[in-house]
Amino acid sequence: MSLLVVGSVALDCIETPVARKEDVLGGSAVCFSYAAGFFVPVQLVGVVGGDWPEEHTKMLESHGIDMSGLEIQKGGKTFRWSGKYLENMNDRVTLETQLNVLADFQPKLPEAFRRAQFVFLANGSTKTQLQVLEQSHGADLVVADTMNFWIESERDSLLGLLKKIDGLLLNDSEAKMLSGELNVLTAARKILELGPKFVIVKKGEHGAIFVSQYDIYVIPAFPTDNVVDPTGAGDSFAGGMMGYIASQGKADGETIKKAIVYGTIVASFQVEGFGIDRLRQLTRDDIEQRLEKFRKMVEF
Ligand code: AMP
């Protein structure tokens, strides 16, 4: 049931049409872990600098996240990302990406992390994702996420990674960029030919589509009228999904289908606050209640 994640641990600067916040706790590994922590304990691998507030580590530990794989480089600065959302609160522009300590991060997995049954390679350098895979042995399921930044800068390593993973998560524009195809389904099928057994394309407020050689599932997003900050929606979707899979200890088609529903519900909470603020107010029960509402919405 062990779930390992490697990814960015960040201090974000987020601008929406109504507010601007600096030093928001973020990063793909943080949003993923917090979401997955509602289902199972999580092992986090990442790196931060001397500017990292120690209280973040304690808070994450109190949510069942094992932080012993977080390297602190005292002389460096934590990864920083700043982004601005447009009026529609769906499209965003990256204003700045400061890789800082993430630039030449060489992950070293603590011994206890090496045999994790479920592994998630959250958005981050493909080279780092590959280094984690080299140290991890016998995982039942390996799923990776990526984004345009890495598709452009590390395309060759990404093509190598695709041959070693079971599933790939990415958003629609990234799927098109990686495959060169304009239709989402054609893009997903082309990515399947590059290695993974399944691809999940996230379409923001329009939900997600799962594509494998045998199945296609589509799922709408849970509609919320309280979108405060969409940052980390994709990571928390992945966290809810992988957390549920790990809690079941298996990754058959039916389990993955239900896991995608959990991912959708957790992501709908994530967007209702800055960073992980909204998730921090939740209990597992809140997730179950929203899932029941969602079930009534999509049944036909
Ligand atoms: P999402 O909204 O799901 O795409 O996730 C946004 C999170 O990813 C933010 O908290 C950022 O700190 C982090 N992030 C942004 N750009 C990168 C990047 N190039 N590599 C890794 N993490 C990133």
At residue 209, the pLDDT reads: 97
CA–centroid distance, 214 to ligand 1, in Å, is: 31
CA–centroid distance, 235 to ligand 1, in Å, is: 8
C-beta 76 within 6 A of ligand 1: no
Q: Which domain covers residue 276, as residue numbers?
A: 3-298
Three-class SS of residue 99? coil
C-beta 28 within 6 A of ligand 1: yes
Q: Tell me which residue has its CA closest to atom 21 in ligand 1.
A: 124
Q: Tell me which residue has its CA closest to atom 12 in ligand 1.
A: 27
Nearest by Cα to 259 from 103, 95, 35, 76:
35
At residue 300, the pLDDT reads: 87
Q: Cα 112 to the chain's mean position, in Å?
A: 22
C-beta 233 within 6 A of ligand 1: yes
CA–centroid distance, 204 to ligand 1, in Å, is: 14
CA–centroid distance, 232 to ligand 1, in Å, is: 7
Domain count, the chain: 1
Q: Tell me which residue has its CA closest to atom 16 in ligand 1.
A: 81
Task: From first to last of the 300 residues of the chain, give the pLDDT tens digit.
Answer: 799 999 999 999 999 999 999 999 999 999 999 999 999 999 999 999 999 999 999 999 999 999 999 999 999 999 999 999 999 998 899 999 999 999 999 999 999 999 999 999 999 999 999 999 999 998 999 999 999 999 999 999 999 999 999 999 999 999 999 999 999 999 999 999 999 999 999 998 899 999 999 999 999 999 999 999 999 999 999 999 999 999 999 999 999 999 999 999 999 999 999 999 999 999 999 999 999 999 999 998
**Residue 262 belongs to domain with CATH number:** 3.40.1190.20
CB 38 within 8 A of CB 259: no
238-266: string of b/e by CB count within 10 Å (b at 16+)?
A: bbbbbbbbbbbeebeeeebeebbbbbbbb
Q: Is 61 exposed, middle or buried (0-12, 13-18, 19+ CB in 10 A)?
A: middle
